[in-house]
Chain A
Amino acid sequence: MTATSAPVRCTPQAGRAAPLGLARLLRVELRRNAMPFVLPLIALVFWFDSYRIAATLPPLWAERLFYIFGQGHMLIDFAPFVAGVAAWMGSRDGRRGLADLLATGARPRFAVQFATWAATVIWAVGGYLVFMAATLWALSRSITYGAPPYWPLAVGAVGVAAFSAAGFAAGAFFPTRFTAPVAAFGALLACGVSSQIGFNEGTGWALILPTNSNSNFGQDAGVFYQFLPDLPIARVMFLGGIAVALVALLGVPVTAGSLRLRHIATVVSAAGAALTVTAIALTATAQVTGYGTVIPALHDAASSRPIPYTPVCRNAGIRVCVHPAYRPWLADVTAALRPVQTQMAGLPGAPARADQVATLFTVGGPGLGRSSVGQIATISGQPAVLYLPLGALNLSGAFGQDRTDFLDAIKLQTVHAFVTAGSGYGDPAQTAVQAALVQNAGIPLARQARQALPDSPWGNAIAGPPGNGGYPAQIATAATRFAALPAATRHAWLAGHLTALRAGHLTLAQLP
């Protein structure tokens, strides 16, 4: 056999070789990336800052994921580290003085940089998804109803990609050793500012910020109605646009590659920026509805339908029914209602049944005016039904509340609904009768003023801010006097005067 008779080996076609070469480059970059070193630190921060707190919250998806998805801690915990490491990877060639050398390589400089960024983002987003999967699995073990919302998960993933793009671009354009810490510090600052805006703004463009929980996460979403995807979709567009714009920006400089590539990179970068601006503009058209934030251009009417359910019920003197997601608190609700129901039984307007109702978002954004005390228990209908928005109360374990706080809140809200017809702050006579009935339901006046009342939406108007003392002296005196009456006397007086009391026609002096 001679050389000429050897079988001809097919040479790979150029079109096939290029992707293979890029894949090899990506594999090399994945192996030599710095992100895996930092992932354990991110895991520590994420566990401490997010999971540790989420695991102590009541077992409802909207509660447990409030910190992580609602307030955007999934992004806050990742962003500084991802931006810093991405900046380090982006500045690598420049710091080593290899930029010119690589610009003369077989592949365009942009392709090499893109491979490095892609490896960085694969590690970062992969780590994010693994951590989130583990978190959702761990949190789900004690949640018996519903499923977590997946759009906010996507927001976090795209957000991680966006911060990595921002850090990488910073590193590529300013290749010094200080770029990484400055990028990390900048990301921390950006997240901090975003959180601050998120705490204060409930409408308009600020809703685009992934750390803004107002008007879109919480309440009874995922229980009575779905988590609306409109805002998360806009956020994915916003963050995705930033990522695309910044990565494509790497292809714009003269050294990035051919003229054609630079033109394409310019167009893609502009398209990314346009996508970001579009997302902000769409968010500016958002309307807050009871079920969350609706963006008309992105809204699917099917997502606004209530979720059908079969209530679970129990007896507390009256029949008490709650959503099956709230089954763990049904015993507490009946325990709270029983001593109140004992005092209300047989009186005009006393509820014959108690039903849980959905807690809704405040239309027009958050905030309580003087004319409204927010969403509280109400009594209405014939026969009268007590409607309890349990989601508006702080359930046991939520935000520092314990079981006693939860029971106290139900007692107070029920009596308030019964005495004041369920709205407004209550006049002095109503407040005194309410205080007396609540005291006889097991909450002494001092504890009412110190704890139960300030936690209620109307409490500060009566007792002042927490720790400010107690009921005004006249009200406290009248309440103590009324509470001290024999139960039969009190019941008889209420039977005769409740209608006038509810209408606001009685004064403190007219109380027995």
Chain B
Amino acid sequence: MTAADVHRPAPEAAPPPPARAVPGWLRLAWLYLVSRRAPAAVAVLAGLGAVLWASLHWHWDVAGGAAAQQAIPLAIETGAAMVIAVTCYGPFGEPERATGRWLPCLRLAAAVLLTTVAFGALAAGSTAGGLPGGIPALLRNVAGMTGIGLLAAAVLGGALGWAAPLVYLVLAEGALADGATTPWAWPARPPHDLGGALCAGAVLAAGLLVTTVRGARESVRD
């Protein structure tokens, strides 16, 4: 037997089982999502949807004015953005960046997918009725806050990306209490307000762009 024969199967060996027809790109996407703990993120987002449903169904009230009325839904939307932000960073670092040709596409796809799931979960939760601003406000708020989380992941690192949506929540609550009208405080704007929607959309677009091109910042303190 020569070295060249090694690659040939022995004549008596059974033929290899036919490979399962899983496209390579699908497997790659799945592995990427698993490395970012996306399945767990989906579960947490579903949980937040359930909390939103419970808060609306049982009328969890916060004493106060407009800021207080939106406090619980806004906090839940913030929670969704925080969860998406921490799914941005990966455990592989340099090797992944050096070899992953499809990495930008995967980052973009994962962020879009999780944002969609977050919106879907919270929209399902809002079926209990009485969500301030309704679905348009929910879409705008989730989009904008997710954008803030993605941007923060790029600046602070994926590990701490959750902090920025939390900061924005406090600022937005303050803007609501003060009756601010700037479109950058979009939760304080009416649900169909174009300025607020444009600002939230711009922040989401910037977040997706930065996530696609650069990804989450990696810190030695992670």
Residues of A in contact with B (beta carbons under 8 Å apart): 32-34, 37-38, 41, 44-45, 48-49, 52, 77, 80-81, 84-85, 88, 176-178, 180-182, 184-185, 188-189, 192, 196, 199-200
Cβ of A180: which chain B residues have Cβ within 8 Å of it?
A: 86, 159-160, 162
Complex formed: what's the CA distance from A37 to B79 in Å? 20
Do the beta carbons of B83 and A32 come within 8 Å of each other? no
Question: Contacts A49-B174, A178-B83 known; A81 to B62 CB distance under 8 Å?
Answer: no
Query: Are A177 and B37 CB-contacts (below 8 A) given A49-B174, A196-B62?
Result: yes
Contacts of B219 in A (CB 8 A): 34, 37
Chain B residue numbers with a CB within 8 Å of A41 are 163-164, 167
Are B162 and A181 in contact, CB atoms less than 8 angstroms apart?
yes
Kindly identify which residue among A48, A88, A176 contacts B174, using a CB–CB cutoff of 8 Å: A48
B194 at the interface (CB under 8 A from A): no
29 cross-chain CB contacts under 8 A: A34-B159, A34-B221, A34-B222, A37-B157, A37-B160, A49-B170, A49-B174, A52-B174, A84-B163, A85-B160, A176-B40, A177-B86, A177-B87, A177-B89, A177-B159, A180-B86, A180-B159, A180-B160, A181-B82, A181-B83, A181-B85, A181-B86, A182-B44, A184-B163, A185-B79, A188-B75, A188-B169, A192-B75, A196-B63
Assembly CA distance A56 to B21 (angstroms): 68
Question: From residue B205, how far is it (CB to closest CB) to chain A in Å?
Answer: 23
Cβ A81 vs Cβ B166 within 8 A: yes
Residues of B within 8 A of A (CB): 37, 40-41, 44, 62-63, 71, 75, 78-79, 82-83, 85-87, 89, 156-157, 159-160, 162-164, 166-167, 169-171, 174, 219-222
A-chain residues with CB within 8 Å of residue B160 when the two chains form the complex: 34, 37-38, 85, 88, 180
A37-B156, A48-B171 known; A188 vs B44 contact (CB < 8 Å) = no
Residues of chain A within 8 A (CB-CB) of B222 are 34
Considering only CB atoms, which chain B residue lies closest to A89 in the complex? B221
Q: Please indicate the chain A residues that have their CB under 8 angstroms from the CB of B89 in the complex.
A: 177
Q: Separation in Å of the A56 CB from the closest CB of chain B? A: 11
Other A-B pairs beyond A49-B170, A192-B62, 18, CB < 8 Å? A34-B221, A38-B160, A38-B163, A44-B167, A45-B167, A45-B170, A48-B174, A81-B166, A176-B37, A177-B37, A177-B89, A180-B159, A181-B162, A184-B162, A184-B163, A184-B166, A185-B75, A196-B62
| Beta-carbon nearest neighbor of B174 in chain A | A48
Closest approach, in angstroms, between the C-beta of B139 and any C-beta of chain A? 21
Give the nearest-CB partner of A199 in chain B. Answer: B63
- Chain A residues within an 8 Å CB radius of B164: 41
For the complex formed, measure the closest distance between the CB of A427 and the CB atoms of chain B, giving whole angstroms: 34
- Which secondary structure dominates chain B's binding surface? helix
CB neighbours of A84 from chain B (8 A):
162-163, 166
With both beta carbons as reference points, the residue of chain B lying nearest to A188 in the complex is identified as: B75
B79 contacts A178, CB within 8 Å?
A: no
A182 vs B47: C-alpha distance when bound (angstroms): 11
**Which residues from B are CB-within-8-Å of A176?**
37, 40
Q: Which residues of chain A are near B162, meaning CB under 8 Å? A: 84, 180-181, 184
Q: List, in ascending order, chain B residues with CB within 8 A of A88's CB.
A: 159-160
Q: How far is the CA of A41 from the CA of B159 in the complex (A)?
A: 15
Closest to B220 in A: A32
Q: List chain A residues, Cβ under 8 A from B87.
A: 177
A188 touches B166 (CB 8 A): yes
Q: How far is the CB of A183 from chain B (nearest CB, A)?
A: 10
Give bound CA distance, A199 to B64, whole Å.
Answer: 10
Cα–Cα, bound, A182→B219 (Å): 21
Taking CB as reference atom, which chain B residue is nearest A88? B159
Nearest B-chain residue to A96, judged by Cβ: B91
Question: Please, which residues of chain B bring their CB within 8 A of the CB of A37?
Answer: 156-157, 160, 219, 221
In whole angstroms, what is the CA distance A188 to B51 when docked?
Answer: 15
Of chain A, the residue at the smallest CB distance from B165 is A181
Q: Give which listed residue, B41, B78, B167, B221, contacts A178 with CB less than 8 A.
A: B41
* A residues less than 8 Å from B63 (CB atoms): 196, 199-200
Whether A32 lies near B221 (C-beta < 8 A) is yes
Closest to B175 in A: A48
User: Chain A residues near B156 (CB, 8 Å)?
Assistant: 37-38
Residues from chain B with Cβ under 8 Å of A32 in the complex: 220-221
Contact call B221/A81, Cβ cutoff below 8 A: no
Chain B residues whose C-beta falls within 8 Å of the C-beta of A81 in the assembled complex: 163, 166
List of B residues within 8 angstroms of A184 by Cβ: 82, 162-163, 166
Q: Which residue of the partner chain B has the closest CB to A81?
A: B163
Q: How far is B156's CA from A38's CA once the two chains are assembled, in angstroms?
A: 9
User: Which chain B residues border A48 with CB–CB below 8 Å?
Assistant: 170-171, 174
The residue of chain B having its C-beta at the shortest distance from the C-beta of A36 within the complex is B221
CA distance A181 to B87 in the complex (A): 11
Residue of A nearest to B76 (CB): A185
Of all chain A residues, the one with the shortest Cβ separation from B37 is A177
Residues of chain B within 8 A of A49, CB atoms compared: 170, 174
Give min CB distance, B168 to chain A, whole Å: 10
Give the shortest distance, in Å, between B165 (CB) and chain A (any CB). Answer: 9
Q: List residues of chain A with CB within 8 A of the CB of B86.
A: 177-178, 180-181
Find chain B residues with CB under 8 A from A38 CB: 156, 160, 163
From A45, A85, A178, contact of B44 by CB (8 A): A178
CA of A77 to CA of B41 in the docked complex: distance in angstroms? Answer: 26
Chain A residues with Cβ under 8 A from B82's Cβ? 181, 184-185
A40 to chain B, nearest CB (A): 10
Chain B, Cβ-Cβ closest to A200: B63
CB distance from B24 to the nearest CB of A (A): 27
A308–B40 Cα gap in the complex (Å)?
63
Closest B residue to A35 using CB positions: B221
Residues of chain A lying within 8 A (CB to CB) of residue B159: 34, 88, 177, 180
Nearest A residue to B68, CB-CB: A196
The distance in angstroms between the C-alpha atoms of A192 and B51, with both chains bound, is 15
Bound together, the chains give a CA A196 to CA B62 distance in angstroms of 7
A192 to B76, CA, bound (A): 13
| Residues in B whose Cβ lies below 8 Å from that of A178 | 37, 40-41, 44, 83, 86
CA distance A182 to B86 in the complex (A): 11
| A18 vs B37: C-alpha distance when bound (angstroms) | 39
Contact: A181 with B167, CB < 8 Å? no
Give the residues in chain B near A181, CB-CB below 8 Å.
79, 82-83, 85-86, 162
